[in-house]
Amino acid sequence: MGQLPVSGEEYPLRWWKGNLHTHTFWSDGNDFPEMSADWYQQRGYHFLALTDHNVLSQGMRWMEVRKVIDRGGEEVMEKYLQRFGSEWVETRGEADSPDFAVRLKPFDEYRYLLERQGEFILIPAEEISDRAEGKPVHMNATNLAEVIQPVGGETVREAIANNFRAVDEQAKRLGREILLHLNHPNFGWAVRPEDLAQVTEERFFEVYNGHPGVNHLGDKTRPSVEDFWDLANSLRLTVLNAEPLFGIATDDTHHYHGKGGSRPGRGWVMVRSRFLTPEHLIRAIKRGDFYGSSGVTLLDTQYDDAAKSLRVEVDAVEGETYTIQFIGSLQQPTPETPDRELIGKLLKTEQGTSGTYQLTGEELYVRAVVTSSAAAVDPSFADQKKQAWTQPIGWEASFRK
């Protein structure tokens, strides 16, 4: 690792890659948490939140090996032993008995095996998995200290707000930076744009989720997740006088052995921060200093508030070409009867590895989408291309009106 820097100037701003939605044997994933974390560490990720459903991986838990094999496949125990060894892997009972079990290691044990200062950290997290109006309402809370049980609500909107308040209470009580984001809004067609727009305290949602069953593209009567983003933000900025949503990309990993469709490596966030710590990463995300990706890497994305211009630069891959689209919603004279043609409008397109958009003052906000000519490495829907999504900018003037 070498010596630590002796001056703050030696901690430059840089991009850190991470996934904020991952499952293991602690809920409905099909591998051990150490194996999941090792997958990401070995592939150059810098941080990972393990977000099992309604649980933090704490305390003593054993899982019958037959259930481990049923879920992960015949080689799952062999892979675990090969990677970490018999001194680490704990079992009890006779190998040929039905109650032969393996211990699921808790977070505070396996983190020290895998974390590397300045290279890779694990963040305690939970997928708060709730239901309202018969629909799934799932939210990920990153950097929790205590598990949060779903609060529920009479409506989807109320459930989102109630769970936000529960997380916010823990953050304030413990003096802790916690990030809460809404997961896969089109999963089960659970959340409408107006539902999330109305819960103005919640600022983050998944604009891309790598699970193939989350209806990313929408259908004939319901919006795609990107359209959802624009609809919700237009409502916030015109009717609700509220700050916009920022978009996160995630894996939602459940499957690590080629068995099942929700695999790792499909979506991630790139966060710009001086320090690789949960607190600094979350503060940067809350500032909007990050982008989501399903395969495109950016060298830079900058908004010059004085010049009112957004610039995006792509870290190009040889053999790929890039389309940079600037998308935004325009000011509307009658927000109570919005014109859908002014929402999520394509404002400008540039071909190449860099693009700039000059705001005119008519925009509620502007965001950029960069699309590669190359197909996604492991697509979650048909004809998927590699993409990156920057956060909405230029909205502060609209918000203050």
Shared domain for 93 and 208, answered yes or no, is no
pLDDT confidence of residue 165: 98
Report if residue 259 sits inside a domain. yes
Dist. CA 381–CA 174, nearest whole Å: 41
Average pLDDT per 10 consecutive residues for the chain, totaling 401 residues: 57 96 98 98 98 97 97 96 98 95 98 97 98 98 98 98 98 98 98 97 98 98 97 95 97 92 97 98 98 98 96 98 97 61 94 98 96 97 98 83 54
Report if residue 8 sits inside a domain. no
CB count within 10 Å of CB 226 equals 20
Shared domain for 64 and 213, answered yes or no, is no
* Phi then psi dihedrals of residue 247, to 5 deg: -105, 130
Shared domain for 52 and 95, answered yes or no, is no
Output the CA–CA distances (angstroms, integers) from residue 376 to 15, 246, 250, 264, 302, in the order listed. Answer: 21, 23, 14, 13, 25
Looking at 211-295, which runs of residues are DSSP E strands? Answer: 246-250, 268-273, 290-293
Shared domain for 44 and 72, answered yes or no, is no
Shared domain for 167 and 39, answered yes or no, is yes
pLDDT confidence of residue 126: 98
Shared domain for 292 and 177, answered yes or no, is yes
Residue 314: strand, helix, or coil:
strand
Shared domain for 32 and 88, answered yes or no, is no
Report if residue 2 sits inside a domain. no
pLDDT confidence of residue 91: 97
pLDDT confidence of residue 256: 96
pLDDT confidence of residue 340: 76
Shared domain for 66 and 149, answered yes or no, is no
Report if residue 6 sits inside a domain. no
Report if residue 5 sits inside a domain. no
Shared domain for 280 and 389, answered yes or no, is yes
Q: What pTM was computed for the model?
A: 0.95
CB 344 within 8 A of CB 226: yes
Find the CATH number of the domain harbouring 121. 3.20.20.140
Quick one: which H or E segment has residue 163? helix 156-174
Q: Specify the number of domains making up the chain.
A: 2
DSSP 393: B
Q: Which residue range(s) make up the domain with 394?
A: 14-59+106-400
Shared domain for 19 and 41, answered yes or no, is yes
Shared domain for 339 and 304, answered yes or no, is yes
pLDDT confidence of residue 399: 61
Q: Which residues contact 112 (CB under 8 A, 6 or more apart)?
A: none
Q: Which residues contact 172 (CB under 8 A, 6 or more apart)?
A: none
